[in-house]
Amino acid sequence: MLRRITLVATAALSILAAGCSKKEPAAASPSTQPAATSPKILRVGNGTEPQDLDPHVVTGVPEHKIISALLEGLVTYAADGSIAPGVAERWEISPDGLTYTFHLRANARWSNGEPFTSQDFLGSFKRILTPTMGAQYAYKLFVLAGAEDFNTGKLTDFSKVGVRAPDTRTLVLTLGQPAPFLLESLLHYAWFPVHLPTVEKFGGLDRPGGAWTRPGNFVGNGPFVLSTWKPNQKIAVTRSPTYWDHAAVKLDVIDFYAIDNSDSEERLFRTGGLDYCYSLPLGKIETYRRDNPDTYRQAPFYGTYFYRLNVTRKPFDDRRVRRALALAIDRESIIKNILRDAGQKPAYNYTPPSPKFTSSARIAGDLDEARRLLAEAGYPEGRGLPPVEILFNTLESHRTIAEAIQQMWKTRLGVNATLQNQEWKVYLDTVQTLNFQVARAGWIGDFSDPHTFLDMWVTGGGNNQTGWSNADYDRILRSALGAGNEAARLAAYQQLEAILADEVPVIPIYFYSRVYAISPRVKNWAPSPLDNRAWKWIDLAD
């Protein structure tokens, strides 16, 4: 998710598809250690200043963490990380898998006290699919019948899209094809509702932007409400008195700190200013692993660290150049010498392995093949190839990896590379507008199915951001959900992986492992391959 994320992140470890922010918060006023009778305040390193808090605009992991405290979808996470009823207390699925009928809770409320209704979902889905919104995640709703046609302007009557609200507490979703991952995909913020009167009041109903996401304006339906936003420092959320499951919420406040300097974040954690350290400095991983086992955590993370290539620009319009650059990267060295063997795996294909799916495709070839391809493209030993610019968002590990790849391309291929660092919001805009040559990226699954990785690369997809297009890829992706059975669907995904490995619009580098530090006083923090959870279950020991 994030480029989301792109997010969405990735330091030494596992940060994601998201990224990081501008300046580190001025050793910012962290909340003090609570006394026995003080409010329970969880202090979280969030990795960056969020792009926004509008679920229909953002694409990153840092944004997801905060938004999931403020808004809730039809389903949510149970304490053990499984899918649980959210705003919908129950649902039925038709035998053909095409119709999902959700029954909403009678006691669901917005934070301003207004009743929550099925019309709120109806209007929110229409908003993210409205063409003028330009929502990069609109394609997540394309499983709904007619949704893609509405988003692309081929259909103007939203009543013909597969979503209906027959009464205030019933929502019916009709799919164009069976999507066995639908319930899990509903956990993603692209499916979250927004309070439409508030969004309209501040001018953002059919376009991104608007001040509705600011403290004092934000109206949500989640377990917490937005109370403070100090840009590039801290966002604070407080327990909502109107949330339907208010009694289950353990924390009084969550402080999300925007810290993109991992040394500063670790220092704040070590001195008691944070309960959760989003990214450990590369040089501290071994120390924590050896000396601080009570706070060090390493866990599987369903994501891929990769480089995007802008195929609309020379020389990246040449498949031979793309393959040569990919083959010249020593992934094992990056994992061992930079990432400190913290559970990452070298990636020679795009989709990370899982119990459900492991790609049989690989970007295959050795260094001799890389040199041959580059010479065949007209750049023997790199001669005649202008310097390649590697763009990355602010984070120590991104720079260190970029420097290593810069050296590999120079010594192995004779290719010169320069480095460009941008803060998170600027970086996102640069990548979205294809104003780059090579860009660092990370993608964490929006749900635990290979579809969430492979649907990115469809022609014109909101998170494609490479300019790459392949008609066969588009055709196979569209047919995958209608393949008839699970084996046939996964076989289609093998074909998609083979196309990506052959065309190389992106260079996969490694599959993530989640590495972080957390205080022993944090309770109920269930590990998850997606690193997502419902904040209402988290607690703090006295």
d(CA 226, CA 217): 9
How much is the CA Rg of the chain, to the nearest whole Å?
Answer: 23
Q: Is the pLDDT of residue 364 over 60?
A: yes
520-523: long-range pairs with CB below 8 Å, 24+? 520/294, 520/295, 521/275, 522/42, 522/275, 522/276, 523/250
Pick the CATH number of 303-512 from 3.40.50.2300, 3.40.50.300, 3.10.105.10, 3.40.50.2000: 3.10.105.10
Picking from 97, 139, 105, the residue whose alpha carbon sits closest to that of residue 121 is: 105
Q: How confident is the model at residue 204 (pLDDT cuts 50, 70, 90)?
A: confident
- The residues facing 159 across adjacent strands are none
Q: How confident is the model at residue 1 (pLDDT cuts 50, 70, 90)?
A: low
**CB 446 within 8 Å of CB 140:** yes
Mean pLDDT of 31-41: 65
Indicate the helix (H) or strand (E) that contains 449.
Answer: none
Instruction: Give the model confidence (pLDDT) of 493-532 as tens digits.
Output: 999 999 999 999 999 999 999 999 999 999 999 889 999 9
Choice between 9 and 430, residue whose per-residue pLDDT is larger = 430
Per DSSP, 387 falls in state P
- The residues facing 306 across adjacent strands are 441, 508
- CATH no. of 11-71+201-299+515-540: 3.40.190.10
User: What pLDDT shows up at residue 16?
Assistant: 33
Q: Is the pLDDT of residue 438 over 90?
A: yes
User: Residue 192: how many CB atoms within 10 A of its CB?
Assistant: 26
User: What pLDDT shows up at residue 357?
Assistant: 98
Question: For the ranges 366-375, 435-444, 524-533, which has the lowest average pLDDT?
Answer: 524-533
Residues of the chain with CATH 3.90.76.10: 75-196
d(CA 482, CA 474): 14
Class of domain 75-196: alpha beta
Residues of the chain with CATH 3.40.190.10: 11-71+201-299+515-540
Tokens 């229909």, residue located = 56
Instruction: Give the model confidence (pLDDT) of 129-182 as tens digits.
Output: 999 999 999 999 999 999 999 999 999 999 999 999 999 999 999 999 999 999
Residues of the chain with CATH 3.10.105.10: 303-512
Tokens 């962290």, residue located = 30
User: What pLDDT shows up at residue 32?
Assistant: 45
